[in-house]
Amino acid sequence: MKLLRELCSIHAPSGSEKPMTDFLLGYIKKHQKNWKVKPKIHSGEDLQDCIVLVFGKPGTALFAHIDSIGFTTRYETELVKIGGPAVKEGWKLVGKDSKGSIECTLKVDKDKNPHYAYKRKIDRATTLTFKPDFRETKDFVQCCYMDNRLGVWNALQVSETLENGIIAFSTYEEHGGGTVGFLAKYIYEKFKVKQALISDITWVTNGVQAGKGVAVSMRDSGIPRRTYLDRVVTIAQKSKIPFQIEVEFSGGSDGNQLQKAPYPFDWCFVGAPESNVHTPDEKVHKKDIAAMTAMYKVLMKAL
């Protein structure tokens, strides 16, 4: 879990992903010599802060968003949400402005609007994120930003043995998407790939429970094409890896943005469930993490 702990500690809310991009490029260049296949790395200004890794002759793309939720400082002590973070009096926030590193406290006014409490005024437009507090027990890991640092971690594990496929690290997912459209164009036109898996984290609900396996989502606010979903489920059933069928009426992911892109992509969300969503205490069962990575290795090969 050392790598996951490190990923959770990186300050990279939507729009400010470069620190995570730089970390990933460094990690990939250092470790790819030990992977089964050395990928071709596509990055740079044409892809903004996204990274596309191409292994062998790809047939399926794995998408994992590298950004997190957070806050932007406004006027006085006001905070503007980045994505949909929960807010609670007393939570610790961290960041950095022109005067140095910051650790401040989240305050909530009578109208439930978020503010910060700090010894000085923080520069306007400074990004703040939850202070990481990584906890590990026999069965669980817990920290802010399991969504989606765990999805990124999963992609890096899959990369170690992947022979044919694409790993796409996307940005802006928590604040409405924005890069998946051009990534879809890039991947479809350049590599003729048109099917995808979404490596992201979902919710523990009355129907999807911790410790019962990775969730294979049949729908959320978006509805993927059923023929593709049926292929995924058939492969999952044959694998004997623990999984749970998810059906939700809200929420979304890079898959929703992929479906809106003008390219014929099929997609399926496959991810471990977490409790305490969008808080500093996101919590995931280790059995579900193991099942997620095992399932991705099977699906990326079989699809």
What are the domain boundaries of the chain?
2-68+135-302, 71-130
The pLDDT assigned to 214 comes to 98
d(C-alpha 78, C-alpha 109), whole Å: 10
d(C-alpha 149, C-alpha 169), whole Å: 11
| Residue range 102-154, pLDDT digits in tens | 999 999 999 999 999 999 999 999 999 999 999 999 999 999 999 999 999 99
Contact 52, 71 (CB under 8 A): no
In degrees rounded to 5, what are phi and psi of residue 100? 130, -170
Identical fold for domains 2-68+135-302 and 71-130, yes or no, is no
Fold of 71-130: Elongation Factor Tu (Ef-tu); domain 3 (2.40.30)
The CATH class of the 2-68+135-302 domain is alpha beta
Nearest to 64 by CA among 29, 116, 28, 105: 28
d(C-alpha 184, C-alpha 168), whole Å: 10
| Residue range 178-227, pLDDT digits in tens | 799 999 999 999 999 999 999 999 999 999 999 999 999 999 999 999 99
The pLDDT assigned to 207 comes to 97
| Residue range 31-86, pLDDT digits in tens | 999 999 999 999 999 999 999 999 999 999 999 999 999 999 999 999 999 999 99
Reduced DSSP (H G I as helix, E B as strand, rest coil) percent helix, strand, coil of the chain, to 5: 30, 30, 40
d(C-alpha 35, C-alpha 159), whole Å: 7
The pLDDT assigned to 178 comes to 76
Structure tokens at 181: 């459209």
d(C-alpha 173, C-alpha 143), whole Å: 19
Other Cβ atoms within 10 Å of 237 Cβ, number: 11
